[in-house]
Amino acid sequence: MTTGSTDRRIDKLIHLLVKHATVVVPGPKIASEIGVTRFKVWEWIESLRRLGVEIRGVRGEGYQLVTVPDILAPSLLRAELGDHPLARHIVHYFRTESTNALALKLAGEGAEHGTVVLAEEQTAGRGRLGRAWYSEKSSGIYTSIILRPPLAPAAAPVLTLMAGLAAQKAVSAATGLPVDIRWPNDLLVDGKKVCGILTEMSAELDRLHAVVLGIGLNVNHSRMPVELENSATSLRMEAHRGISRVQVLVALLRELERHYQLLLKNGNKAITDRWEAASTFAHGKRVCVLTPSGVVQATTTGLDPSGALRIRHDDGRQESLVAGEVTEVR
Ligand code: BTN
């Protein structure tokens, strides 16, 4: 597979196989319906197999899906989401450097509000604070959503909290796992990270042009790399079963839209109140905070209306954190 966006005809091929999953679909029929040669069909079937899609080939007859594929193909997502606002512009890549980099580029070229960029694999996934994001092929959800909110740049921290809250609701509904949110928007299961969100934007002083919500979710990794195994986990490792990435992503897009509308309609407090109710980090949590003068311990005392995390230092001083990272003191 190349690094360009997925050929729409591969999406059609997946759709065709899913639609006729109970029968063997003749190669010539597939080729004529999607407008490519039979050889091309065979090549694409091989590529899909390499991504883990089980397709039975019957010599002289055609192809049949063995299981429903867990590929984040636009046609499979649209089959679930219908005319949902976040299903109108879906851009899928088998492999790209970073969906955030792509989404920022597309936003600069005028991509519409609600555009969803997806990749099965990232070769240079970006994390917060200049870190990398481990993006194993076909195991995680790597997505960047372009929003054009009618809000000032000061709203960006609450948009970020909103995304974490939506992701928490989606993941717990789709898996039944108890999911915590660490400020600002890491999702934790049993103290280990399963999801991270990198918000990037283009803005003027008083106007947001575009916000890119970059969400990375560890879904079906069967193990994490050694350097991450103490701090990160996957939904599969925690639930002890495979999880459908399509179902988690569908739930995520629905929750994102719901919480985004809630923010636009009811303002910051609708999000900060819900965030405080959903996170054990909101109140009374002993945390380590990285400050310019080093790491200090403090206790959390809630969110302020802008989304900043209030902490009380041990000498009684109060502070509001607008950026950075906190970790639980264990
Ligand atoms: C974090 O460090 O917690 C944030 C990680 C964000 C990773 C996602 S994966 C999809 C999107 N594309 C990227 O390059 N980064 C974000």
Residue 69's pLDDT is 80
User: Which of 38-52, 111-125, 179-193 is predicted least confidently?
Assistant: 38-52
Distance 199 CA to ligand 1 centre (A): 8
What is the mean predicted confidence (pLDDT) over 99-119? 97
Q: What's the pTM? A: 0.93
Model confidence band, residue 329 (pLDDT cutoffs 50, 70, 90): very high
pLDDT above 90 covers a percentage of the chain that reads: 83
User: Residue 61: how many CB atoms within 10 A of its CB?
Assistant: 13
Distance 158 CA to ligand 1 centre (A): 18
Distance 63 CA to ligand 1 centre (A): 36
141 vs 168: CA distance, rounded Å: 14
Q: Does position 65 have pLDDT exceeding 80, yes or no?
A: yes
CB contact set of 2 (below 8 Å; sequence gap of 6+): 94, 95
CA distance between the termini of the chain:
45
For residue 141, the surrounding DSSP H or E stretch is strand 140-147
Distance 287 CA to ligand 1 centre (A): 23
What is the mean predicted confidence (pLDDT) over 46-62? 89
Distance 126 CA to ligand 1 centre (A): 5
Residue 291's pLDDT is 72
Measuring from each residue's beta carbon to the nearest atom of ligand 1, which residues come in under 6 Å?
Answer: 98-100, 122, 125-128, 131, 133, 142-144, 186, 196-198, 214-216
Model confidence band, residue 2 (pLDDT cutoffs 50, 70, 90): very low
Model confidence band, residue 275 (pLDDT cutoffs 50, 70, 90): very high
What is the mean predicted confidence (pLDDT) over 257-281? 98
Model confidence band, residue 3 (pLDDT cutoffs 50, 70, 90): low
Residue 1's pLDDT is 43
Which mutation among 142, 187, 195, 327 tests ligand 1's pocket best, with the greatest number of atoms within 8 A of CB? 142
Q: Does position 222 have pLDDT exceeding 50, yes or no?
A: yes
User: Which of 72-76, 263-267, 281-285 is predicted least confidently?
Assistant: 72-76
Candidates 63, 308, 201, 292; CA nearest to 300 is 308
Beta carbons of 291 and 197 less than 8 angstroms apart: no
Model confidence band, residue 51 (pLDDT cutoffs 50, 70, 90): confident
Model confidence band, residue 192 (pLDDT cutoffs 50, 70, 90): very high
In Å, how far are 61, 112, 161, 183, 266 from 271, measured between CA atoms? 55, 24, 7, 13, 9
What is the mean predicted confidence (pLDDT) over 187-195? 98
Distance 306 CA to ligand 1 centre (A): 23
Beta carbons of 129 and 103 less than 8 angstroms apart: no
The number of the ligand 1 atom at minimal distance from the alpha carbon of 193 is: 3
Q: Does position 196 have pLDDT exceeding 60, yes or no?
A: yes
Candidates 52, 119, 69; CA nearest to 90 is 119
Residue 176's pLDDT is 97
Write the pLDDT tens digit of every residue in 128-140.
989 999 999 989 9
Residue 8's pLDDT is 83
Beta carbons of 160 and 168 less than 8 angstroms apart: no
Percent of the chain that is helix, strand, coil (3-state, to 5): 35, 30, 35
The number of the ligand 1 atom at minimal distance from the alpha carbon of 124 is: 14
- Tokens linked to 15: 């759709």
Which mutation among 198, 218, 219, 256 tests ligand 1's pocket best, with the greatest number of atoms within 8 A of CB? 198
How high does pLDDT run on average in the chain?
Answer: 94
Residue 328's pLDDT is 96
Distance 284 CA to ligand 1 centre (A): 28
Residue 132's pLDDT is 97
Residue with CA at minimum distance from ligand 1 atom 16: 214
Residue 247's pLDDT is 96
